[in-house]
Structure 1
């Protein structure tokens, strides 16, 4: 792989509230790793998914899956996840839903409480290992 092929950006700049363009790539490949930008519970209409932490975790995980798919990856290739929760009281409910997506072989994970940039309960970013053909 040449230096010009070392980094590949996937997807157009995503849009946020009101359709404004956001300055980041949903997915970026750097060698054998794919990095997924933080995903929130934004639905197809550009609105935050209504409901509590369980509904928002499901939508956020679906969005992580869509971002991974841009680079030809899926959740089975995820090796590291970072999670931000708006409320620490949501931790156990979040874990119940999260387990549905990763089962008995979850990736390494960090999970912290943070004030969100948009009115959501959760944000998730991921790193996938997807070796390029040699």
Structure 2
């Protein structure tokens, strides 16, 4: 395996659903830009609905990963920018569906606002997909 998830006993245990370290030993890395819940019409899907926006964002990320031969299992880091951390559980319930095993490393911060006034979240990931065959 070229990615090792590690939570060494020499540091405090994580207090959430994330890992301390993802060690990538070889192969390509894929950096995705931050994604917001834009629908096919170019508008934010369901302003005010954290659960729906989380679902849309994860679906977009899933399709971007797939376009490059990757899946959520290849994600080594996820960064979340949220406008209201008191609603983090809504996002977390959706996110945990996509990372049922060892979670990636993670950063989550609250921001005053995002570039679109109806966006509640922006999520970016780094993935270590398998090297292309050939």
- TM-score in same-fold range (> 0.5): yes
Structure 1 vs Structure 2 CA RMSD: 1.5
Contact kept, 8 Å, 2:62 with 2:71, in 1: the verdict is: yes
Q: Does 1:125 align with 2:97?
A: no
Deviation at 1:105, TM superposition (A): 1.8
Q: Does 1:116 align with 2:114?
A: yes
Q: Find the aligned partners of 1:104 and 1:73 in 2 and give their Cα distance.
A: 16
Residue correspondences, number: 104
Gaps (5+ residues) in structure 2?
1-26
Secondary structure of residue in 2 paired with 1:38: coil
Deviation at 1:131, TM superposition (A): 3.9
Runs of 4+ in 1 over 4 A off after TM superposition: none
Larger RCO: 1 or 2 (CA < 8 Å, sep 6+): 2
CA displacement, residues 25-76 of structure 1 (integer Å, 9 cap, x when unaligned) = xxxxxx6101111111111111111151111000000011111122121111
Aligned pairs for 1:100-115 (under 5 A) are 100-114=97-111, 115=113
Question: Which of the two has greater strand per residue?
Answer: 1
> Aligned residue for 2:69?
72
> Aligned residue for 2:80?
83
Contact kept, 8 Å, 1:33 with 1:131, in 2: the verdict is: no
Q: Find the aligned partners of 2:129 and 2:35 in 1 and give their Cα distance.
A: 20
Question: Which of the two has greater helix per residue?
Answer: 1
